[in-house]
Amino acid sequence: MLRPIKIKRGYTRNCPGSVLYQSGETIVLCTASIEPRIPDWLLGKGKGWITAEYSMLPGSTSPRKRRERDGKVDGRSTEIQRLIGRSLRSIANLEALGERLITVDCDVLQADGGTRTASITGGFIALVEAIRTVQKDLPDPRQYPLTDSVAAISVGIVDGKPVVDLDYIHDSEADVDMNVVMTGAGRFVEVQGTGEEATFSEDELTTMLKLARKAIVQLTEVQSKSLGKHWPFS
């Protein structure tokens, strides 16, 4: 069963895409910014780029998490922001985006498990909001630059039982911990699964993937409801 979800679009006014995404007690601010430039290695290729940055703010955990400074990002944050970027690009037509850079920033205000999955799910909403502000200026305004939605959820095995959407307590006690990223059409983007001093069977893996698929169907409905008339897919 999913934790209660709350979404507030337009949370800040300076970014074209801004979403406060809350899943249980985990709260993430997802903002999407657009710049009329592309990375140097994309020059002349006629396509744009979508990237992501992720950070846990000092007050998001107890004890306080030290602030990342001077461009120094710890290994966990680097791995997570790469995951977010890959997930968002997996459903993007970068040629249709044109030569522009979209950066999705995911800042964790409060952490209680599932911060990376919340960042992907909320980050997609922020991305849609941002694209809407430049749609008329795309190379072909009739060609929408996203091909599908994307969302993510955690699943695991706790005390021998499969659990979906793990909070911190469940996550810390899990024998198996897995993050699943899927599109709205039900295709896998990424599966990250680890046995924590334990192993898991093929049947348990199948059960966890079924739980994840069911949860992502629900998350897609939540995304669609949040965006309302701005949901870009039929």
Cα dihedral 78, 26, 228, 216, rounded to 10, equals 70
56: phi then psi, degrees, rounded to nearest 5: -100, 120
Q: What is the pLDDT of residue 65?
A: 87
- pTM score, whole prediction: 0.95
Task: Sketch the domain layout of the chain as residue ranges.
Answer: 5-229
Cα dihedral 80, 3, 195, 30, rounded to 10, equals 0
Q: What is the pLDDT of residue 70?
A: 66
Q: What is the pLDDT of residue 109?
A: 97
Residues 106 and 79: their CA atoms lie apart, in Å, by 13
- Fold type of domain 5-229: Ribosomal Protein S5; domain 2 (3.30.230)
Q: pLDDT (tens digit, 9 = 90+) per residue, 125-182? A: 999 999 999 999 999 999 999 999 999 999 999 999 999 999 999 999 999 999 999 9
Q: What is the pLDDT of residue 197?
A: 81
The type of residue at 40 is D
Query: CA 8, 115, 157 angle in degrees (round to 5)?
Result: 125
Low-confidence ranges of the chain (pLDDT < 70): 70-71
Give percent above pLDDT 90 in the chain.
88
Q: What is the pLDDT of residue 160?
A: 93
